[in-house]
Amino acid sequence: MTRYLGAAVVIRAVNDGASVGLALLALTVRPGVAGALVAALVAPHLLGPWLSRLLSLTDSRYVLAGSFVLYAGAVATAATVMAEAPAVVAVVLVALAGCAGPMLAGGLTSRLPGGDTARSRAFDSATWGVATAAGPGLAAVTNLVIGPVAAVLLMAAGAIVAAGLVLTLPPDPGRPEESPRIRDSALHAMQTRPLRYTLLAVGLTGLGLGALPVATPLLGVELGQPAGSGGLLIATYGVASLAGSLAGAARLSDGLSSRLAAGSLAVMSLGVGVAATAPSFAVALAGFVVLGLANGAFLPTVLAVCREHAPANGYAQLLVLSSSIKISGAALAGIWSGFAVPAGGRTVLAVVVAVLLAAAVTRARSGPFRRRRSPGRR
């Protein structure tokens, strides 16, 4: 479990940090392509359900490690040539790195050791909290001390380290002879009530939380702080999310964790609402603590529902589909929040509150989570 968690923390921190590093580098040498680079890194997640079939073709350790090496090479090359090569070259290279994105999210989670229990799922969710806090912070500090190219190259080196860690994991106990087709997995998700509403809630969550990088700098300024204070709000959210996931690892059973899903989303909306109406920066920080704790409790419930209702041999595909939906929602959030910038950070956060409440209602409609076994499941 330790080696898995190490690989997960490193590669997910690398991904979060690379987004920041690439944006800072583009703003330095080619400001006009900063948004295109971030979008190029995220957009290929839409290919996740198709790419996930690679996991069933051979030992998934090699697929994951190869994806991380591809990621490292693509972002390192993009950073090195960005100042001189045509802008389209950098965008294409970053899009190639983005193709590895589904593997570092749901693809890596499909290799979750420890019997795939509520505890192991909570620990896996905790890696996202570490990544959110550590990756962007490390990239920003490296940018200040050495420069933006070094920040991206450091992230590329981290991806190589993660590839090495993945290769040290135990081999797959056995590969299925045939995984379901993408269409069949998607149809199964749409026809299974808990999966349908959970995946819709996941997409709405991404559509809301994906606006935080835009809203937090604006909110900081509105509260009399420098725009950079938005990074502190995001880091606070990441650390609190880690704490929430670790609390789930220690205390929550499968059933209890799943029943808390809708409540966690409601508390997340409450935390954002506190920040949106905060009279001071300290109160806004408290709101982001609440948001992070609730988010940390919510993430393991998604893994639990995917595990329990996945079709035979289709768990990895379902995890990748879930992460692709969330990240695609986050990409759309970047678009709508960008248009909402003139309205201010509080207004953007108010919209996030409404979206998270909609996610809570959607998740509640799926009904209580019940343990069951599907025919043909391993």
Greatest mean pLDDT among 192-201, 211-220, 263-272, 312-321 lies in 263-272
**Are 36 and 30 in contact, with CB atoms under 8 Å apart?**
no
Integer Cα distance of 294 and 268 in angstroms: 6
* Residue 51 structure tokens: 């790419």
What's the whole-model pTM score?
A: 0.72
Which residues, in sequence order, are CB contacts of 30 under 8 Å at separation 6+? 82, 83, 87, 90
Integer Cα distance of 328 and 336 in angstroms: 13
pLDDT at residue 141 is higher than 90: no
pLDDT at residue 260 is higher than 80: no
62-66, 177-181, 195-199, range with the lowest pLDDT:
177-181
Q: Which pLDDT tens digit goes with each residue over 46-96?
A: 776 666 667 666 777 888 889 899 999 999 999 999 888 888 898 899 889
Quick one: which of 7, 343, 331, 314 has its CA closest to 169?
Answer: 7
Q: What is the pLDDT, as a whole number, of residue 259?
A: 63
Per-residue burial over 54-91, b if 16 or more Cβ lie within 10 Å, else e, is bbbeeebbebbbebbbbbbbbbbbbbbebeeeeeeebb
Q: Which pLDDT tens digit goes with each residue over 200-220?
A: 898 999 889 888 877 888 888
Stretch 15-38: mean pLDDT: 76
Q: Which pLDDT tens digit goes with each residue over 95-127?
A: 899 888 778 776 777 676 655 566 676 677 777
Q: Where are the beta strands (DSSP E) in the chain?
A: none
CA end-to-end span of the chain: 21
* Residue 266 structure tokens: 């409601």
Give the number of other CB atoms < 10 A from CB of residue 159.
Answer: 27
Integer Cα distance of 2 and 310 in angstroms: 26
Q: What percent of the chain has pLDDT over 90?
A: 21
Within 13 Å and on the Cβ side, how many CA atoms surround 171? 5
**Are 47 and 162 in contact, with CB atoms under 8 Å apart?**
no
Q: What is the pLDDT, as a whole number, of residue 297?
A: 82
pLDDT at residue 308 is higher than 90: no
Burial status of residue 170 (CB atoms within 10 A of its CB: 0-12, 13-18, 19 or more): exposed
Q: What is the pLDDT, as a whole number, of residue 344?
A: 87
Greatest mean pLDDT among 154-163, 198-207, 325-334 lies in 154-163
Quick one: which of 326, 323, 208 has its CA closest to 266?
Answer: 208
